[in-house]
Amino acid sequence: MPNWNDVLTEIAAEAQTHGDMAQDLVRRKYLAQLSAHTGRNTIAYYSGWLASNPNNPQLYVNDGDKNAFMTVVHGCEFEKGLDLILHTPGGDIAAAESLVDYLHQLFGSDIRVIVPQLAMSAGTMIACSAASIIMGKQSSLGPIDPQIQNVPAIGVLAELDKAAADIKEDAAKLELWRMIIGKYHPTLVVSCEQAVKWAKEFVESSLKTVMFAGDGDAEEKSKAIVEFLSDFDSTRHHSRHININRCKEIGLKIVQMEDDDTLQDLILTVHHCYIHAMDNGRVAKVVENDRGTAHVRLNVN
């Protein structure tokens, strides 16, 4: 299967006769081949955040994505299940939860998430709602710590815990911590607590009812995974990349794409196609199915 440079060469060759349609033609060809190989409906959900202005809200999981999925699920043979290719920095918890609920209503529990490179934050929450996650050596998930007003909620709560511990140990540190904590709006702390609780409940429920459905120890497995993904001491930072080996260690049901050479080649070829499409910074997000139906959002300067 084509590598990064091969895909670029193929797009350039197609452009000689098809112009601006070349990227679409090449990308859709390989997405259809991936679906034919698995025998499953395949939907790609790609954000262009790696090559775009990060201040664009369209790059992140949001309620507008529901319209995109309503478009691309039309005509799906739902009994064949769904492979969702996910490349996203995350976004709104409510939007992610609503999207997961919608897909489960259509496909039941027969959903696999494929992570060619990165599915972070709310993207990790979506991945944890699947029956299994296909990852490679280059793939990563992230912590599920929600962001409140662009501040990591778990980080805020950890800072408050540290303040309490420091002041208890040395009362002279009260004034220092007063200045630091004074930057927080009174309602921010409560919002952070609720957001963290919400994220944990969402992921734990998804794991228990889908990934570990029928397992006698589903609750214990789910709690352990959620605790790791939401533990500030374990993950250290919102952008922490959690690789395939660590994902296996914490108990997630991971399928290693390298175990099927054809599957791996097809997934990575599709991934290269989408990254090429987004490298110029024009495309904010693409949601596309294996039959060539797409919902595209462009970056606006």
Q: 190 versus 139: which is more confidently predicted?
A: 139
What's the mean pLDDT in 107-134?
Answer: 97
Is the sign of the CA dihedral 291, 58, 47, 108 positive or negative? negative
Q: Tell me the per-residue pLDDT of 200-224, one tens digit each, with 9 for 90 and over.
A: 999 999 999 999 999 999 999 999 9
pLDDT reported for residue 34: 98
Tell me the pLDDT band of 146, cut-offs 50, 70 and 90.
Answer: confident
C-alpha to C-alpha distance for 171 and 56, rounded to whole angstroms: 44
> From the centroid of its chain, how far is CA 66?
15
User: Does 172 score more than 70 pLDDT?
Assistant: yes
pLDDT reported for residue 88: 96
Other Cβ atoms within 10 Å of 162 Cβ, number: 12
**3-state class (DSSP) for residue 280:** coil
Single-letter code of the amino acid located at 246: R
**3-state class (DSSP) for residue 236:** coil
User: Does 237 score more than 90 pLDDT?
Assistant: no
Q: Which of 101-105, 136-140, 171-175, 248-252 has the lowest mean pLDDT?
A: 171-175
**3-state class (DSSP) for residue 289:** strand
Tell me the pLDDT band of 187, cut-offs 50, 70 and 90.
Answer: confident
Q: Which residue has the tokens 């201040």?
A: 55
Tell me the pLDDT band of 150, cut-offs 50, 70 and 90.
Answer: low
What's the mean pLDDT in 158-172?
Answer: 76
User: How long is the chain?
Assistant: 301
CB 284 within 8 A of CB 297: yes
C-alpha to C-alpha distance for 193 and 148, rounded to whole angstroms: 10
| Helix locations, the chain, DSSP H | 4-18, 22-38, 64-72, 93-107, 122-127, 153-169, 174-181, 186-206, 218-229, 232-235, 244-249, 261-278
The values of phi and psi at residue 90, to 5°, are: 105, -160
Residue 10, token pair as written in the block? 């193929």
Radius of gyration of the chain (CA): 21
User: At 44, which helix (H) or strand (E)?
Assistant: strand 41-47
pLDDT reported for residue 131: 98
C-alpha to C-alpha distance for 85 and 113, rounded to whole angstroms: 6
**3-state class (DSSP) for residue 21:** helix
pLDDT exceeding 70 applies to what percent of the chain?
A: 95
Q: 206-222 in b/e burial notation, b at 16+ Cβ within 10 A?
A: bbbebbbeeeeebeebb
pLDDT reported for residue 149: 64
The CATH number linked to 257 is 3.90.226.10
C-alpha to C-alpha distance for 250 and 227, rounded to whole angstroms: 10
Domain carrying residue 17: 4-298
Q: Which residue has the tokens 């698995």?
A: 38
Strands 111-115 and 41-47: unpaired
C-alpha to C-alpha distance for 272 and 277, rounded to whole angstroms: 9
Domain count along the chain: 1
Residue 17, exposed/middle/buried by CB under 10 A (0-12, 13-18, 19+)?
Answer: exposed
What's the maximum distance between 2 C-alpha atoms anywhere in the chain?
Answer: 74
